[in-house]
Amino acid sequence: MRIVSLTPSASEIVFELGLGSRLVGISHECNYPKEIDIIEKVSSSSIDPTGSQGEIDHQVRETLQSNATLYQINTERLNELKPDFIITQGICDVCSISSNQIEVELKGTLCTLPASTKIISLNGRTFDGICDDIIALGNELNSMNQAKNHVDQARNKKDYLQRQTKYDYPILCLEWIDPYFSAGHWVPEQIELAGFKSAIGKTGDQSRVLTVDEIIDSDPFAIALICCGYNGEQNSFFSKQLFEDDRINHLKAFKENKVYSFDADSYFSRPTTRILEGSRQLRNRILLN
């Protein structure tokens, strides 16, 4: 069995299912677990990741408005790899390669993949949806026992989080700061599992641009910087930028120094069961500081 994963969450899940050795190709964004580093990357991005958040946002909007693609797939190499399965996602066209792009590119005249090659799209937007994706993937990849065990362990961790003391604290998670974006999909659920309430957004909502007035009106007890795809050090840098915004730095969360940064790439941005660790970290940081 030969697998190509074009989204980081899928690669992570494939390893959890004990099938990492079956991966013959991955996306340029796949970086976990560390064993993945030796696997060939078959995609690239048209966006310069070294720019500021404002510059990246501008690049993304210009690219989408021109009907161009944010990501490129090396279809020639994909043909040579002849995967039995190609795994992608259908959640966000901006975050990683979508199933729609795969379908379009593979229907091109240069595609010589076997007719038996199957495209699997992961679409979980909540904890339960993520678990459903893992079970479905386990079924497709003939690894159902590993999938069930992984999901059972995750559900036990979730139950433990839900039994902890609840606090009526509104927490604002920001997925981007230039412009400001709310954190959607599973993140409001992460906030609830941490024992708090989401200041803006409900579980399953799409991430969206926020106005400064919305942030002010939400009057968050604490703010969590979980800018999409960035690690803890990078989000720590963004948190310092946040303190420089005179439009919002008068809020209680700033005055009481309750602005926190996290490794979003590992624990908030990806639809894997590691979001439970994100909830644990969120709870501990807010309650212990």
Cα separation, 225 vs 183, in Å, equals 10
Same domain? For 95 and 238 the reply is no
Helix (H, G, I), strand (E, B) or coil at 53: helix
CA 187/CA 127 separation, integer angstroms: 10
pTM recorded for the entire structure? 0.91
The band of 177, judged by pLDDT with boundaries at 50, 70 and 90, is very high
Select from 119, 135, 155 the last residue of a domain. 155
Whether 117 and 191 share a structural domain:
no
DSSP secondary structure letter of residue 21:
G
Cα(77)–Cα(81) distance, integer angstroms? 6
Query: Has residue 84 got a pLDDT over 80?
Result: yes
Q: How many domains does the chain have?
A: 2
Q: With 60 as the cut, is the pLDDT of residue 164 above it?
A: yes
* Listed range (5-9, 19-23, 27-31, 96-100) with the worst mean pLDDT: 96-100
Range of the domain at 244: 164-288
Let me know: does 119 contact 98? Beta carbons within 8 Å.
no
Structure tokens at 106: 């593979």
pLDDT tens profile 10-27: 999 999 999 999 999 999
CB atoms within 10 A of CB 56: 17
Q: Give φ, ψ of 179 to 5 degrees.
A: -80, 175
Stated length of the chain:
289
CA dist 276 to 63, 161, 180, 272, Å?
A: 34, 8, 24, 9
pLDDT at 56 over 50: yes
Closest CA to 41 of 1, 94, 96, 123: 96
CB 271 within 8 A of CB 9: yes
As beta bridge partners, residue 57 has: none
Specify the pLDDT at position 109: 40
What's the pLDDT score for residue 106?
A: 56
DSSP 261: E
Same domain? For 8 and 132 the reply is yes
90 and 172 housed in the same domain: no
Range list of H helices, 66-126: 75-81, 99-106
Give the residue, 58 or 263, on which the prediction is more confident: 263
Claim to verify: residue 182 and residue 274 sit in the same structural domain: yes
The 10s digit of each residue's pLDDT in 99-149 is: 555 555 555 544 567 778 898 999 999 999 999 999 999 999 999 999 999
CATH number at residue 90: 3.40.50.1980
Question: Do residues 138 and 188 share a domain?
Answer: no
In terms of Cβ atoms closer than 10 Å to its own Cβ (0-12, 13-18, 19+), residue 157 is: middle
Question: Is 85 found in the same domain as 34?
Answer: yes
Listed residues 125, 155, 185: the one ending a domain:
155
Query: Per-residue pLDDT tens for 178-228?
Result: 999 999 999 999 999 999 999 999 999 999 999 999 999 999 999 999 999
Residue where one domain finishes, among candidates 155, 173, 202: 155
Q: Residue 89 belongs to what H/E stretch?
A: strand 85-89
Binning pLDDT at 50, 70 and 90, where does residue 95 land? low
The DSSP bridge pattern shows strands 170-177 and 222-225 to be parallel
Looking at residue 45, its pLDDT comes to 87
Judge if 19 and 110 occupy the same domain.
yes
Are 220 and 150 members of one domain? no
What does each C-alpha distance from 246 to 80, 172, 216, 235, 251 come to in angstroms?
54, 18, 12, 19, 10
Give the tens place of pLDDT for each residue, 240-268. 999 999 999 999 999 999 999 999 999 99
Q: Are 210 and 98 part of one and the same domain?
A: no
**Are 14 and 124 contained in the same domain?**
yes
- Per-residue confidence (pLDDT) for residue 279, from 0 to 100: 98
259 phi and psi, to 5 degrees?
A: -120, 120
Q: Kindly state whether residues 171 and 151 are assigned to the same domain.
A: no
Whether the pLDDT of residue 42 is over 60: the answer is: yes
Q: What is the pLDDT of residue 128?
A: 97
